[in-house]
Chain A
């Protein structure tokens, strides 16, 4: 009998974990990722709480294991177009988008990107850095193959350039490459389509996009990361100066009747981590975290917060700031808030403010749920009919969901759910025998 197979949609830590578990059990896995590389959001993080493990350093071995596993076929820069069939016998049509680079020939040397005369904002660097129009999304990208961003490529737009082609020693550039349609028959499907970031410019009171020294938490992650655009140095966008004080604003768009009602689950802890890292980089730097409830429910989280206060000059202020203004003299953000413990309305001027924005289900979660005929809940997360007793089972037998696409959660919880989804898929496939 042919090996049973599973389609895993989403190449972040959850999708990778499900894929590795199933592949190690002996199933054939097709891991589909929309962007040019697997790795997902975790690859963008600098360190992880509460151990301050370097995120990429613990993720990279899993990415490489997934890429070299004989039972996993990686389909990056690919999207699921259509799924037909039903319970236990699905046929998926996958569009493998043209990279305009021959995957077999490309050595990932990076020459093409260096020579590409056109630069655009890097998605990986959250717009704080540039990438070439032909690019590798990040240093440890897997597969290590360049991709031409057709939308911005001058050759595709105006018919002239082909600089990358001239400088490619491997002769891997192929402007005539076409999208490829791959059809696979699978016995089960796991959805792990992850999260996007809520745009905080809708919260006008915080001045994001208007006040230069107000940035988002994900931008901060890139800035503090050694592989980021500032190579790990904190630099204020307005003047490049090193900040001496930071304000972290929690629940920006979360737990907010005007925006998202829910709690995004991870922001209390990532703000704490980010404040600790700032002080590790600059021992004089002070951070102030403006919070609603300090949700530190995981293993060793309270100890982490205690360390932040005692050793890393982090102050927690229970308050939801009403607005941020800008001091026109020095570009400093001024945070206006009520000190709820003393009932005084006051303000604090800091060198830079970091908005911990709400996390929302990724845009592709909506698209893929339509194709799979799965319904979404009020907040556009994948609906899990019996979350309590069947926490990873969707409405359709044989389709499972894990990670952020079903609820905000941190990395260990996503990993646990991903393994759970793998176990349920394996159980489902055994039942049919």
Chain B
């Protein structure tokens, strides 16, 4: 190994770091550390100027290690690694030190100490960098097919988009028919049409598509593999079927909460909004004169804090429809805030008011009360604007309840090894900028299984997920993570501890193929499956497993640097 020649780049990040940490002082400090041949400060190392100065320094100072002390590898590691690669340096000879989230942002009140801490963090990064090794990323083929889980509008839109781009799609739907939650609706906002015909046109396109293979009713039983090479097995109507895909889109939707409030299930004229739609669809609603709707039933309460996004619009839609069916009816919507965001929704709300629907705000501390023993006769509500309690006669009470996660999300999360976030909805890779991707490569998410979404939003997300999923399909090749575990089979005793702890089924016990060890049972890591989580390296009782990029030598040299040992 050539002697290390380390270049250090310390970022001001405007005033994010520079306003707290004395950056020039850290640069001077770094210059005096072993193997450092160049150190400089940048206003923004991530700017074009910063990147070109890294590339320039690699050439000018013949650097074979680069350390950037700035923000977080989560957003910026690929950028700096690419800069190294552009200048001809193996990208794994780059080390990231976080002096923003781990230092300046949390020590704003202690500038002196923040500067000292930044120096120590930089020292540790440099100590590790000395032991970095070049790694090879290997490329793997992408099997040109996709699996879409969920046959609602989000899943169908994704499937059609991929199929129309020429890729084979396996569409797996739990129910015996396509259409999802939309099938249960009587009419849809804001166009006020019966959805059946519209859904049928999509369903027909899906069913008639030569590239789409429908599996229905079917559930996913097991998935193994990695981006480009997933092996899937499903239970299709009692039969086990398996197939191979390159990418997976999760679009399994959500369910409406069945409430335990306001006499639902006990009093016979209390319905949920979905129940009302079912009655209207079946023509079984009967006559009504006084309709009261209550919003946020089971939502925005301490045990379920979130707003379900689309229930206000559903209530407005059905309230206006009640007026349309019986113009003499009195229709009240009791709400907490009306979520008619944007252009169309606000207009829809305004039109409902013009049509005679009345809106009254209530607060959680003073919720509406139902009057009546067998049937609801009236609803009492404190009207903030009038500062008095009003009693509204009522022969039909309709409750808007939130969408809640499907019961089988946890099972699917386990099979696919994708995370679930707060409240039980699937957790995307980044809430702002990667809304339809999972952190796990090759798996994407769309629609209400991620967060309550209306039809338009679900379709948009279906397309968006397809946009991300089609990238590896079109490329045909993907790069596989190079930071993986390796086993020293000479030391390995074949105890199998690593096999037990590996969450990705990436390790197997096998007979060694290494000369001199033939026949010995040892563990072997499948690098394509390994995600580099490090569990096996920590668990190995014989220290036979090392994690590339996080070897014992690298980590201990950081600790020693901090404690003053060399």
A272-285 near B? 1/0 per residue, CB < 8 Å: 00000000000000
Report the nearest B residue to A26, measured CB to CB.
B474
Q: Please indicate the chain A residues that have their CB under 8 angstroms from the CB of B459 in the complex.
A: 388-389, 391
Question: Which has the most chain A C-beta neighbours within 10 Å: B43, B305, B345, B433?
Answer: B433
Is A299 close to B, CB under 8 A?
Answer: yes
Is A300 close to B, CB under 8 A?
Answer: yes
B69-99 near A? 1/0 per residue, CB < 8 Å: 0010001101100100000000000000000
Contacts A261-B350, A299-B451 given: A412-B431 contact, CB under 8 Å? yes
The answer, among B19, B75, B385, B463, for a CB contact under 8 Å with A61, is: B75
How many Å from the CB of A335 to the closest CB on chain B?
20
C-alpha spacing A51/B202, complex, angstroms: 37
Report the nearest B residue to A306, measured CB to CB.
B305
B467 and A426 contacting across the interface, CB-CB below 8 Å: yes
Report the nearest A residue to B363, measured CB to CB.
A341
Q: Please indicate the chain A residues that have their CB under 8 angstroms from the CB of B387 in the complex.
A: 342-343
The answer, among A107, A265, A296, A420, for a CB contact under 8 Å with B342, is: A265
Q: Please indicate the chain A residues that have their CB under 8 angstroms from the CB of B48 in the complex.
A: 64, 67, 108, 140, 142-144
How many Å from the CB of A102 to the closest CB on chain B?
16
How many Å from the CB of B565 to the closest CB on chain A?
35
B385 and A231 contacting across the interface, CB-CB below 8 Å: no
Report the nearest B residue to A49, measured CB to CB.
B432
How many Å from the CB of B45 to the closest CB on chain A?
10
C-alpha spacing A413/B464, complex, angstroms: 10
A231 and B309 contacting across the interface, CB-CB below 8 Å: no
A420 and B431 contacting across the interface, CB-CB below 8 Å: no
Q: Please indicate the chain A residues that have their CB under 8 angstroms from the CB of B339 in the complex.
A: 293, 295, 297
Is A213 close to B, CB under 8 A?
Answer: no
C-alpha spacing A134/B542, complex, angstroms: 64
C-alpha spacing A107/B425, complex, angstroms: 47
Report the nearest B residue to A417, measured CB to CB.
B460
Report the nearest B residue to A423, measured CB to CB.
B467
Is B338 close to A, CB under 8 A?
Answer: yes
Stretch at the interface among B159-167, B412-420, B490-498, B515-523: B159-167
Is A154 close to B, CB under 8 A?
Answer: no
8 Å CB interface, A39-78 against B: 48, 50-51, 53-54, 57-62, 64-65, 67-68
A411 and B470 contacting across the interface, CB-CB below 8 Å: no
Q: Please indicate the chain A residues that have their CB under 8 angstroms from the CB of B305 in the complex.
A: 302-303, 306
A392-414 near B? 1/0 per residue, CB < 8 Å: 10000000000000011101110
B164 and A431 contacting across the interface, CB-CB below 8 Å: yes
Is A156 close to B, CB under 8 A?
Answer: no
A226 and B14 contacting across the interface, CB-CB below 8 Å: yes
Residue total for B at the interface (Cβ-Cβ under 8 A)? 75
Q: Please indicate the chain B residues that have their CB under 8 angstroms from the CB of A413 in the complex.
A: 457
Contacts A389-B202, A420-B464 given: A58-B433 contact, CB under 8 Å? yes
Q: Please indicate the chain B residues that have their CB under 8 angstroms from the CB of A303 in the complex.
A: 305-306, 422
Q: Please indicate the chain B residues that have their CB under 8 angstroms from the CB of A198 in the complex.
A: none
C-alpha spacing A293/B347, complex, angstroms: 15
Is B191 close to A, CB under 8 A?
Answer: yes
A263 and B467 contacting across the interface, CB-CB below 8 Å: no
Report the nearest A residue to B459, measured CB to CB.
A391
Is B471 close to A, CB under 8 A?
Answer: yes
Is B456 close to A, CB under 8 A?
Answer: yes
8 Å CB interface, A329-380 against B: 340-343, 377, 379
Contacts A25-B471, A431-B164 given: A392-B460 contact, CB under 8 Å? yes
C-alpha spacing A227/B47, complex, angstroms: 14
Contacts A388-B456, A407-B343 given: A227-B14 contact, CB under 8 Å? yes
Contacts A64-B46, A419-B436 given: A57-B75 contact, CB under 8 Å? yes
B464 and A417 contacting across the interface, CB-CB below 8 Å: yes
A423 and B432 contacting across the interface, CB-CB below 8 Å: no
Contacts A62-B433, A299-B451, A416-B464 given: A263-B19 contact, CB under 8 Å? no
Is B255 close to A, CB under 8 A?
Answer: no
A140 and B422 contacting across the interface, CB-CB below 8 Å: no
How many Å from the CB of B176 to the closest CB on chain A?
24
A132-152 near B? 1/0 per residue, CB < 8 Å: 000000011011100000000
B345 and A232 contacting across the interface, CB-CB below 8 Å: no
Contacts A21-B468, A140-B46 given: A415-B463 contact, CB under 8 Å? no
B475 and A26 contacting across the interface, CB-CB below 8 Å: yes
Q: Please indicate the chain A residues that have their CB under 8 angstroms from the CB of B13 in the complex.
A: 57, 226
C-alpha spacing A24/B44, complex, angstroms: 26
B269-295 near A? 1/0 per residue, CB < 8 Å: 000000000000000000000000000
Q: Please indicate the chain A residues that have their CB under 8 angstroms from the CB of B457 in the complex.
A: 413, 416
Q: Please indicate the chain A residues that have their CB under 8 angstroms from the CB of B16 in the complex.
A: 54, 57, 226
A298 and B451 contacting across the interface, CB-CB below 8 Å: yes
C-alpha spacing A415/B465, complex, angstroms: 11
Is A121 close to B, CB under 8 A?
Answer: no
C-alpha spacing A302/B76, complex, angstroms: 29
How many Å from the CB of B473 to the closest CB on chain A?
9
Q: Please indicate the chain A residues that have their CB under 8 angstroms from the CB of B347 in the complex.
A: 261-262
Is A294 close to B, CB under 8 A?
Answer: yes
The answer, among A139, A140, A255, A302, for a CB contact under 8 Å with B300, is: A302
A409 and B422 contacting across the interface, CB-CB below 8 Å: no
Q: Please indicate the chain A residues that have their CB under 8 angstroms from the CB of B300 in the complex.
A: 302
Q: Please indicate the chain A residues that have their CB under 8 angstroms from the CB of B474 in the complex.
A: 25-26
C-alpha spacing A424/B165, complex, angstroms: 10
Is B344 close to A, CB under 8 A?
Answer: yes
Q: Please indicate the chain A residues that have their CB under 8 angstroms from the CB of B51 in the complex.
A: 64
Is B326 close to A, CB under 8 A?
Answer: no
Contacts A226-B14, A340-B384 given: A25-B433 contact, CB under 8 Å? no
Q: Please indicate the chain B residues that have their CB under 8 angstroms from the CB of A227 in the complex.
A: 14-15
A407 and B344 contacting across the interface, CB-CB below 8 Å: yes
Is B389 close to A, CB under 8 A?
Answer: no
Q: Please indicate the chain B residues that have their CB under 8 angstroms from the CB of A51 in the complex.
A: 431-432
Q: Please indicate the chain B residues that have their CB under 8 angstroms from the CB of A288 in the complex.
A: none
Is B340 close to A, CB under 8 A?
Answer: yes
Is B529 close to A, CB under 8 A?
Answer: no
B165 and A232 contacting across the interface, CB-CB below 8 Å: no
Can you report 11 A-B residue pairs in the complex whose CB atoms are below 8 A from each other? A107-B49, A140-B47, A140-B48, A302-B300, A389-B202, A389-B455, A389-B456, A412-B435, A419-B436, A419-B465, A423-B466
Given contacts A415-B432, A427-B161, 16 further A-B contacts (CB under 8 A): A25-B470, A57-B16, A61-B79, A226-B13, A232-B15, A262-B347, A297-B339, A300-B306, A301-B307, A303-B305, A391-B460, A408-B343, A413-B457, A415-B464, A423-B466, A426-B161
Pairs of residues from A and B, 8 with the lowest C-beta to C-beta distance, nearest first: A419-B464, A420-B463, A423-B467, A293-B337, A226-B15, A419-B467, A144-B48, A262-B343
Show the binding face of B for A, using Cβ within 8 Å.
Answer: 13-16, 19, 43-44, 46-49, 51, 71, 75-76, 78-79, 82, 161, 164-166, 188, 190-191, 198, 202, 300, 305-307, 309, 337-347, 350, 363, 384-385, 387, 421-422, 425, 430-433, 435-436, 450-451, 455-457, 459-461, 463-468, 470-471, 474-475
Show the binding face of A for B, using Cβ within 8 Å.
Answer: 13, 21, 24-26, 48, 50-51, 53-54, 57-62, 64-65, 67-68, 107-109, 139-140, 142-144, 226-227, 231-232, 255, 261-263, 265, 293-303, 306, 340-343, 377, 379, 381, 387-389, 391-392, 407-409, 411-413, 415-420, 422-424, 426-427, 430-431
